[in-house]
Amino acid sequence: MVFGIIGSGSWATALAKILTDKKHSINWWIRNAETIRYLREHGNNPRYLSSAKFNVSLLALSSDIKEVVSQSDVLVIAIPSSYAEDSLAGLKPEDFKGKKIVSAIKGLLPGKNILLNYYLQNNFHVSLENYFAVLGPCHAEEVAEEKLSYLTFSGIDTVTASEIAAHFTNDYISTIINPDILGVQYAAVMKNIYALGAGIAHGLDYGDNFLSVYIANAADEMAGFLKKFGAEHITVGEHDGEDPITHRKTPNYAASVYLGDLLVTCYSLHSRNRGFGKMIGQGLSVSAIKSEMNMVAEGYNASKCIYNINKQVEAPIPIADTIYKILWEHVNPSEGFKRIEEVLV
């Protein structure tokens, strides 16, 4: 398999590091010519994860996305969801013919309120059988430090998902396979909203006792939302047997890609969503935070997308609804969290 990385942010850089640490040559699309020049000369990304060093002989860098796509078998799309349409706009359906797509996007496309797989299917005729997702819990910063992390590769074609995952497995990355391709993606979207809320609570000076109750309720709310979508593996404590090869239990809602990713995103200081929320809780405006942060907090746009989606789904998600109203309808954070306090059990 020849891999192509689409994107140059922290997550894209982390995934590129994982592949090249296994001596894989990769094609890497980077929009910024100066970043390409710097990487070639110095062997690291000057803007994101600058501590991660690369063997430049393994990097085929290009600002031409069509070139990277044409020369790759597997395309790892690791760009913020809000930039996805613009980044892929120059491509045509024939460019994706015979390609496997791995989404490393942890958000919905703003305006359309859809996952990347639906956008690729509608615009480029990419079937769900050729679409996979790579998810955490896994912060890019810890990948750069080579701290043991777990990646979940999800797809309805679990054989191919396993083959792709094998190229990412190394001394500091363990991989897990999950067939719940839609459920894991919606879980990744929802956890960013709740993490942003956890940050708001921190900014408002709530303590750990409150935060533990908040996250427990957020986990329950997220499970209810996923169940409305027909997501699998929702029941905690029940497993449908084990994997015949690894002998691991089959995943359920307590698995890393659901509950684990929610927990680390709510608690970790590496979480950009938590950091974004903390500044909201401290009284900064959304516009001021956007200008200050060098990275995109997916939970901001996700809160609006999920709010609109839930008009049809009608799942009871008062926590996510309140976070949306704080961010988009200018509800005072203190007032919003008083409302959240009233629904916690």
- Give the integer Cα–Cα distance in Å for 269 and 267: 7
* Closest CA relative to residue 320, chosen from 142, 224, 193, 202: 193
Residues 228 and 111 in one domain: no
User: Which contiguous run of DSSP H or E holds residue 287?
Assistant: helix 286-292
Q: What is the DSSP string of 299-328?
A: HHHHHHHHHHHHHHH----HHHHHHHHHHH
Residues 156 and 278 in one domain: no
Domain that holds residue 274: 183-343
Judged against a pLDDT cut of 90, whether residue 145 lies above it is answered with: yes
Residues 273 and 166 in one domain: no
Judged against a pLDDT cut of 90, whether residue 197 lies above it is answered with: yes
Coil, strand or helix at 26: strand
pTM: 0.91
- Sign of the alpha-carbon torsion through 261, 84, 331, 324: negative
179, 205, 223 - which closes a domain: 179
Total domains present in the chain: 2
The 10 Å Cβ neighbour count of residue 111 is: 12
Per-residue pLDDT tens for 271-284? 989 999 999 999 99
- Which pLDDT belongs to residue 232? 64
154, 179, 204 - which closes a domain: 179
Residues 165 and 225 in one domain: no
**Which residues, at least 6 apart from 212, have a Cβ–Cβ distance to it below 8 Å?**
none
Per-residue pLDDT tens for 79-127? 999 899 999 999 999 999 999 999 999 889 988 999 999 999 999 999 9
Per-residue pLDDT tens for 286-316? 888 877 776 668 899 999 999 999 999 899 9
Band of residue 20 on the pLDDT scale cut at 50, 70, 90: very high
Sheet holding 3-6, edge to edge: 59-62, 26-29, 3-6, 74-77, 100-103, 131-135, 149-154, 173-178
Poorest-pLDDT segment among 209-218, 234-243, 248-257:
234-243
List the structure tokens of 191.
Answer: 């956890």
